[in-house]
Amino acid sequence: MHPSDLFDPAILLMLLAVVLGIGWLRAAGRTGRENARRARAARRGEDRAERLLVDLGYSIEERQAVRSWPMLVDGESVQASVRADLLVTRDGEIFVAEVKTGGAARVTLPATRRQLLEYLLAFEVHGVLLVDMEQRCVFAVEFPAVAIEAVRY
């Protein structure tokens, strides 16, 4: 092999592909490990939240509750799927409980607020609960502008 052969475009492209492939594989491995770590932490948080809710007099009815929610898009019916952490009951009333850790437990965050509002609309419940596992508190979140009876299917 002559040194000028190293500058052959085909060889340079192959070397670039190998370097990019190795980088991609390393990044994918980190992402997979990070996702697995997050999933384990979320599961631990949900387990602790269940114990907290039971201590407060709630009964766990369903974990990772999934409901289909109908919508009309340009007059066409479309089904959306919604998954909530927990369905719980207390004193004959049913609630969706959303478990959060860290800063995500703030109801003022748009994503958290939208999630709770979607649960209120998609599940036939009396209310929604935000379970803050950092503070070990359960907050009943109400949306006074939403007339629940008007949105029941």
- pLDDT tens, residue by residue, 24-72: 666 666 677 777 877 777 778 788 999 999 999 999 999 999 998 888 9
The C-alpha atoms of residue 113 and residue 49 are separated, in whole angstroms, by 19
Delineate the domains of the chain, giving CATH numbers in brackets: 36-151 (3.90.320.10)
The C-alpha atoms of residue 15 and residue 62 are separated, in whole angstroms, by 53
Q: What is the pLDDT of residue 102?
A: 74
Any idea which of 79-83, 91-95, 98-102 has the lowest mean pLDDT? 98-102
Secondary structure (3-state) at 61: strand
pTM of the entire structure?
0.69
Q: Please give the structure tokens belonging to residue 49.
A: 């939240």
Percentages helix, strand, coil for the chain (3-state, rounded to 5) are 50, 30, 20
Strand runs labelled E in 54-146: 59-73, 76-90, 93-100, 127-132, 137-141
Q: What is the pLDDT of residue 79?
A: 92
Please determine, for residue 94, whether its predicted confidence score (pLDDT) is greater than 50: yes
Mean pLDDT of the chain: 82
**CB contact set of 69 (below 8 Å; sequence gap of 6+):** 79, 80, 81, 82, 121, 122
Q: What is the pLDDT of residue 84?
A: 94
Q: How far is CA 90 from CA 75, 78, 124, 129, in A?
A: 38, 33, 15, 12
